[in-house]
Amino acid sequence: MSLVQSKKAKEEMWQAFEQMWAELEQWREKHPEASFDEIAGQLTPRRRKIMGKLLAQLACQHGDGEVVEGLRCPDCGEGMSYKGKPSRAVEHLEGELELARAYYHCAHCESGLFPPR
């Protein structure tokens, strides 16, 4: 990730956090009698959304694997072919995200790979 991309990603994270903060402040103002658990119930899904963004940024920090040349299958050693950049949903304790990364396939042993590993 270039310095410009890194700064942009950081700005996007700050904007997302500021939006979450504003939403929660507004919600809290309307619900002064809310219990701790009710407040946490408002915070948790928003936190997971922000953490999902951060996870996606960090997962692709060193690229999405699309420019790997001469990739060899880790199982059989044969050459692998690029099959596009499918998007997949990833769920983690820290957040949920949609991640698009390059996918490579080995015609010899039928295994697949999303680099970098």
Q: What is the pLDDT of residues 13-67, one digit of tens each?
A: 999 999 999 999 999 999 999 999 999 999 999 998 898 888 888 877 766 666 6
Which pTM does this prediction carry?
0.62
> E-strand spans in 19-93?
81-82, 87-92
In the 8-state DSSP scheme, what is residue 23?
Answer: H
* For the ranges 25-34, 79-88, 103-112, the one whose mean pLDDT is highest: 25-34
**Angle at the Cα of 49 from the Cα atoms of 45 and 53, rounded to 5 degrees:** 165
Which pLDDT score is estimated for 71? 84
* For the ranges 2-6, 8-12, 58-62, 92-96, the one whose mean pLDDT is highest: 8-12
